[in-house]
Structure 1
Amino acid sequence: MAVTLSDVANRANVSPATVSRVLNGNYPVAAATRERVLRAVDELDYVLNGPASSLAAATSDLVGILVNDIADPFFGIMASAAQSEMVGLDADGNGTGRAGGEKLAVVCNTGGSPDRELTYLTLLQRQRAAAVLLTGDTVDDPAHSAAVAAKLARLAEGGTRVVLCGRPSPAAHPDAVLAALPFDNRGGARALTAHLLELGHRRIGQVAGPAERTTTRHRLEGHRQALAAAGLGDAEDHERLTVHGSYDRLSGYRAARELLAREPDLTAIVAANDTVALGVCAALREAGLRIPEDVSVAGFDDLPFSADAVPALTTVRLPLQEAGARAGRLALGREEPPASGVAEVGAELVVRASTAAPGRG
């Protein structure tokens, strides 16, 4: 039996009129109530019908781009590149002349919240989005991964083209994803740590990202693989030399201070990303330490400011612009998906002035 609007109302403990208001977006509804209704819609897999369905189908030019933090250049670069492909703009922001092929690209900022990610996927399903592009990593949680996979399967069944950029295909329902462009975070981190080891560093601190994120796990795995290959595989030592935090400058500053307190003899610090590396550098300077003479610092991603930092930042380059643009083309069917459905995006070590042999000064 088909799920009805009343079924959703009963599940959410609201009136049918409230459910209608949430789904149509034509009347203000309290945020908590809206979340409860959308959760009930998702749990019951409610599908609009009749006139409401026709209205939703009329918005098939809609494309959703999910990001963890639009203020983070990592996500902004990918989203901008993908959006330019979707709305028919070239690299300079000019129209490409693809008349009739443009889409209304909506950037959905999840704030890294698993619940918000599922809510946006529900909303895009309700609107019969032509395509959905998920950028960046996700939480390392089997229950959430299963929920996302199920939601992507429903989107695909409804004709939505699903593309992942910077994250692997889900283990469940992999066929729901048209294409996945995961970053080689392990390989990049392994190359970065190997570079520091080749310089002679043996006491290397790690300012890692949030412990629950998949990117954090993959980059830590690559870092520790390089250490193990050099005979530095003490698990207890790894934990002492690792501090987790957010992907922002303040987190890098605080983590570096904590690492220095734990291990004053550190000669190098690997940061979760380039923004975090700036905070690390600030903490080292405050402690009277020189970069790289006393402590080498390395980042990840090669964000635009990295080459202009003082000293210029050694990092791992991810081709964010190119990956985002390709994801946009795949989402709109302007490029054939890879044969296996997955095309790993390579990472490249970029050596600059912030790393040098220990004790150089």
Structure 2
Amino acid sequence: MARRANVPANGRRRSTIREVADRAGVSVATVSRILSGDYPASPTTRKRVMLAVEELDYVANAHARALAGTSAKSVAIVLNSVISPAYAHVAQGVEAQTAAEGRLCLIGTTGGDPERELAMVQFMREQHAEAVILVGNVVADETYHKRMSRYAHGLAAIGSRLVLCGRPPLGPDVPAVVVEYDHAGGAFAATSHLLSAGHERILCLGSRPGYSTAEGRVAGYRRALAAHRVPHDPALEVEGMMEWHEGYRMMKERLATGAPDFTAVFALNDLIAGGAVRALTEEGLRVPDDVSIVGFDDLQPSLDLDLTTVHLSHEEVGRTAVRLALEHEARGGTPPHVTIGTHLVIRNSARPRRMS
């Protein structure tokens, strides 16, 4: 039996532009022009219309306007950057699985700006994407949680689904699919590898308090120290972003203070490791003869460096995010929460500590 117009698969009726116009006391044409952003309405009229939109939880049907009733199914992915190797590989997995499911893929970048991410989610909602997949680092503060939780409920109300990919859940009552990486487990394995080789002064590069990916990996580093009964020294944790030039900067600044006060390095990703290796080499230090180093991700930089690192199947993460989102949309029930495992890849950038 055909569904009634404006009623999604979950049975909750969508508000119409006519209802927004009636509540705001203006014409349908005025609402349409204000929402399109090209109508010089008075501040009072615009405020009434936007208040009605919020109260009715109205979402403009962009496909209906542009395609005269033809709806193209799509999946959206929102990520910090498309040039970061880790994000690019996740995006490739999303695109491949989206194509296999017969959908189009929409993509948006945020530059790491939480406000832009929130705006992007709202935009993808207006495009009626079947799923909106958020990838990677996020500043996990209370304000962000509240707003993103509201958007997750809004997506669910129109039969769509928010997917948190590589980041922690928003809470038990938030209707979002979660596909996490085992950041802590991978970092524990990498740090334990160095500890088992006799290294106790292990420099941790890339700490960023408040950022979920970095915090998970630092937690695994600290847990390994505790498991091996090695005292935690906060001075060995260096803050920086997960980029090559940041790895170079952090190591250069550390070495500028004198002889190394560490025998090994745990870099929170392979890009940081690459920059750190360059800085060590410029200072006449050899890897692994003088300093051992391990990374995280197992992407192209690790192969070039013959780097021991933590393998994470980024493309499979992207594929899983799409599959779970579309399966959940079809079946309903409690949104799934899965964790993608990691494993350590042993190469030649780490060796047992030489005893003095």
TM range, smaller chain: 0.7 to 0.9
Q: CA offset at residue 78 of structure 1? A: 0.9
Query: Which stretches of structure 1, 4 residues or longer, exceed 6 Å deviation after superposition?
Result: 5-8, 15-18, 39-43, 334-340
Matches of 2:220 and 2:200, distance apart in 1: 16
Paired residues for 1:1-361 under 5 Å: 4=20, 19-22=34-37, 46-48=57-59, 54-55=64-65, 58-59=70-71, 61-88=73-100, 102-171=102-171, 173-174=173-174, 176-177=175-176, 179-234=177-232, 237-238=233-234, 240-261=235-256, 264-309=260-305, 312-333=306-327, 341-359=336-354
Q: CA offset at residue 191 of structure 1? A: 0.9
Matches of 2:84 and 2:335, distance apart in 1: 31
Q: CA offset at residue 203 of structure 1? A: 0.9
Question: % of aligned pairs identical?
Answer: 33
> Which whole-Å deviations, capped at 9, do the CAs of 1:133-160 have from their partners, x for residues lacking one?
1222321212112211111111011100
Matches of 2:308 and 2:70, distance apart in 1: 49
Q: CA offset at residue 85 of structure 1? A: 1.2
- Seen in structure 2, the aligned counterparts of structure 1 residues 52 and 248 have a Cα distance that, compared at 3 Å, is closer
Matches of 1:303 and 1:283, distance apart in 2: 20
8 Å Cα contact 1:146-1:172 kept in structure 2: no
- Seen in structure 2, the aligned counterparts of structure 1 residues 53 and 282 have a Cα distance that, compared at 3 Å, is closer
- Seen in structure 2, the aligned counterparts of structure 1 residues 40 and 280 have a Cα distance that, compared at 3 Å, is farther
SS of 2:78's equivalent in the other structure is strand
> Which whole-Å deviations, capped at 9, do the CAs of 1:124-179 have from their partners, x for residues lacking one?
112221221122232121211221111111101110033232123211633x11x3
- Seen in structure 2, the aligned counterparts of structure 1 residues 139 and 42 have a Cα distance that, compared at 3 Å, is farther
TM-score of the superposition, structure 2-length normalised? 0.81
Matches of 2:323 and 2:255, distance apart in 1: 46
SS of 2:253's equivalent in the other structure is helix
8 Å Cα contact 1:61-1:103 kept in structure 2: yes
- Seen in structure 2, the aligned counterparts of structure 1 residues 157 and 224 have a Cα distance that, compared at 3 Å, is same
Which amino acid counterpart does residue 353 of structure 1 have in structure 2? Answer: N
8 Å Cα contact 1:188-1:349 kept in structure 2: yes
> Which whole-Å deviations, capped at 9, do the CAs of 1:255-291 have from their partners, x for residues lacking one?
1122334572211111120011100001100111000
SS of 2:300's equivalent in the other structure is coil
- Seen in structure 2, the aligned counterparts of structure 1 residues 43 and 108 have a Cα distance that, compared at 3 Å, is same
- Seen in structure 2, the aligned counterparts of structure 1 residues 131 and 264 have a Cα distance that, compared at 3 Å, is same
Matches of 1:337 and 1:208, distance apart in 2: 39
Q: CA offset at residue 230 of structure 1? A: 2.1
> Which whole-Å deviations, capped at 9, do the CAs of 1:46-84 have from their partners, x for residues lacking one?
4146x8784387545132111111111101111111111
8 Å Cα contact 1:165-1:327 kept in structure 2: yes
Q: CA offset at residue 319 of structure 1? A: 1.2
8 Å Cα contact 1:78-1:324 kept in structure 2: yes
SS of 2:156's equivalent in the other structure is helix
- Seen in structure 2, the aligned counterparts of structure 1 residues 132 and 340 have a Cα distance that, compared at 3 Å, is closer
User: Which structure 1 segments of 5+ residues have no match?
Assistant: 9-14, 30-35, 89-100
Which amino acid counterpart does residue 296 of structure 2 have in structure 1? Answer: F
Q: CA offset at residue 221 of structure 1? A: 0.7
8 Å Cα contact 1:60-1:130 kept in structure 2: no
Matches of 2:321 and 2:298, distance apart in 1: 20
- Seen in structure 2, the aligned counterparts of structure 1 residues 67 and 264 have a Cα distance that, compared at 3 Å, is same
User: Which structure 2 segments of 5+ residues have no match?
Assistant: 1-14, 25-29, 41-46
What does residue 96 of structure 1 align with? none
How many equivalent pairs are there?
324
Matches of 1:43 and 1:233, distance apart in 2: 53
8 Å Cα contact 1:66-1:107 kept in structure 2: yes
